[in-house]
Amino acid sequence: MADYTLEIPESLLNQASRIAEQTRISVNQLLISAIAEKISALQTEAYFHDRQARGDLAAFDAWLSASPDAPPMEGDELEHAVTERCPGPTTTV
């Protein structure tokens, strides 16, 4: 373990203290957990961004077109079947 001095706004420290007390953990443990969670989220985002950059939509479409045109197996049906190809990700503001 390494020591690191951290300046935290008092209001944030008060909230962290209350949450730590409610969950019966130390403030230190709460902050370490929060830092680890943020790092994990950022690494996951970077992974999917890199993975998207390596994707080949034309190859995926060719693979999908080669799939048999057959009804789904029992238990694989969708409750609301998609009849049109989705245009892709959308962003809402």
CA 78 to chain centre: 24
* The pTM of the whole model exceeds 0.75: no
pLDDT tens column, 76-93: 888 876 666 666 665 554
**Residue carrying structure tokens 């998609």:** 82
pLDDT tens column, 32-44: 999 999 999 999 9
Per residue, the 3-state secondary structure of 22-50, as one string, reads HCCCCHHHHHHHHHHHHHHHHHHHHHHHH
